[in-house]
Structure 1
Amino acid sequence: MLEIRPNCEWCDKDLPPDSNEARICSYECTYCSECAETVLHNVCATFGGGFAQRPIRPIITAVARNLVTIANALCRSRQKWAAPTP
């Protein structure tokens, strides 16, 4: 799973999981769009590769996560209990 680093590795700007400003290299070095474009000129300072926009990970509360887990379990159990065809 992709590691969602919380800050720009250059300027320490906060980059929450749902930020559109986060940029990552193929090794998941994380920078804000400002640093990636204007300071680093789209070249990772550590590995030399380019950057892509980091995928957004929606912030899900613990309650919502539990509800999704329960809903998934219910869906799986319904599939197992489907009526046999004659």
Structure 2
Amino acid sequence: MLEIRPNCEWCNKDLPADAVDAMICTYECTFCKDCVETHLHNVCPNCGGGFCPRPIRPATARRPGISRQHQPASDKRVSLKYDRESALRFCHGVRHIPPRDR
């Protein structure tokens, strides 16, 4: 089950569980859409993969026990694993490679 992390690892913007601008990589590194497009160019600075929109966990339990009330989003804020300069160099170096080929 996804953690649904609460913030962008780049700019620290709040990304609540219902945020439509939250993006994740395959390891669930979480960034806002603006940072993914403007700074990272669809390259996760942690793993090198691409991003997709983070799913929104249902607020209402339309099936018993399945909702944010029963499986709340994480409240643990996550920071970028690398310094920004090296992260940008990394992203710049692989952004021309399609995510499926990285």
- TM-score, scaled to structure 1: 0.68
Give the equivalent residue in structure 2 for 1:23. Answer: 23
After superposition, give the CA deviation of every residue in 1:5-25 in whole Å (9 maximum; x if it has no partner).
Answer: 000000000000011000000
**What amino acid is aligned across from residue 15 of structure 1 in structure 2?**
L
What is the percentage of aligned positions where both structures have the same residue? 67
Correspondence list, 1:13-52, <5 A: 13-52=13-52
User: By percentage of residues, which structure has more helix?
Assistant: 1
After superposition, the CA RMSD in angstroms is 1.9
- TM-score, scaled to structure 2: 0.58
Give the equivalent residue in structure 2 for 1:84. Answer: none
Aligned length: 65
SS of residue paired to 1:31:
strand
Give the equivalent residue in structure 1 for 2:88. Answer: none
**What amino acid is aligned across from residue 48 of structure 1 in structure 2?**
G
Q: Are residue 5 (structure 1) and residue 5 (structure 2) matched? A: yes
Structure 1 residues not aligned, in runs of 5+? 70-86
**Structure 1: which 4+ aligned runs deviate by more than 6 Å?**
none
Structure 2 residues not aligned, in runs of 5+? 66-102
**What amino acid is aligned across from residue 33 of structure 2 in structure 1?**
S
SS of residue paired to 2:20:
coil
Alpha-carbon distance between aligned partners in 2 of 1:59 and 1:8, rounded to the nearest angstrom: 21
Alpha-carbon distance between aligned partners in 1 of 2:47 and 2:30, rounded to the nearest angstrom: 12
Higher RCO (C-alpha 8 Å, min separation 6): 2
Which entry has the higher C-alpha Rg, 1 or 2? 1
Alpha-carbon distance between aligned partners in 1 of 2:32 and 2:10, rounded to the nearest angstrom: 8
